[in-house]
Amino acid sequence: MIHTVKDPVAKEGGIAVLKGTLAPEGAVIKQGAVSPAMMKFTGTARVFDGEDAAMACLLAGKVAANDVLIIRYEGPKGGPGMRESLALTAAVAGCGLGDKIAIVTDGRFSGGTRNLSIGHVSPEAADGGPMALVQDGDRIEVDLPGRKLNLLVKPAELKKRLAAWEPPAPKFTRGWLARYQRLVTSAAKGAVLEPPK
């Protein structure tokens, strides 16, 4: 179980940070739980505004090989609070799709996550990050060795989509969670509270 530096279990640590046009401030993956065949993957976006919608689609048998499940509005502000997505990753594995699809979310995963599950995408969709602009059918590129996570859509098209985007209504309008939604920073900054500017 314990190896020497000259004979490591793996050449790199288990966690990797990816960046790119889909995650300008970064995203996190447990690369130690990804099969070698999935280290580079390009697939087609299937967009869900929340994990529950993605789970319903999966359980209805409507997810196919080469899909990239984009699960947005689960980040610190959108959630609010970044609930963990362990149930979805377990269901994907149970459906036999673990080494055939990717999951990309602005939410988070537990330590038990496996397969191509990328979380903490920043900036999150609720802040108007690129996650908010993804549409069904877009192509998503994942390159773990190159540490890249890219939305393969031309900048001019993304600019047009951003101009038309409207932030979702807050899930809470009073109380602690409403305050949290207003003041929380992105996952890239630790999802900590900052006073309003």
Residue closest to 195 by CA, chosen among 56, 158, 186, 182: 182
CB-CB contact of 94 with 100 (8 Å): no
Residue 114 inside a domain? The answer is yes
CATH number for position 80: 3.50.30.80
The CA distance from 79 to 91, in Å, is 21
Residue 141 inside a domain? The answer is yes
Report which DSSP code applies to 63: -
Range with the poorest average pLDDT among 2-6, 35-39, 103-107, 109-113: 109-113
Residue 150 inside a domain? The answer is yes
Beta bridge partners of 17: 28
What mean pLDDT, rounded, does the chain reach? Answer: 94
pLDDT digit string, tens, across residues 23-56: 999 999 999 999 999 999 999 999 999 999 999 9
Residue 8 inside a domain? The answer is no
Residue 1 inside a domain? The answer is no
The CA distance from 97 to 89, in Å, is 10
Residue 8: band (very low, low, confident or very high) from pLDDT cuts 50, 70, 90: confident
Residue 103 inside a domain? The answer is yes
The CA distance from 103 to 28, in Å, is 12
- Our count of domains for the chain comes to 1
Beta bridge partners of 196: none
Residue 2 inside a domain? The answer is no
Q: Report whether pLDDT(15) > 90.
A: yes
Which has the higher per-residue pLDDT, 68 or 85?
A: 68
Residue 6 inside a domain? The answer is no
| Residues classed as catalytic | 110
Question: Is the pTM above the cut of 0.85?
Answer: yes
Query: What domain range includes position 92?
Result: 15-189
- Residue 130: asked if its preceding bond is cis (omega within 30°), the reply is no
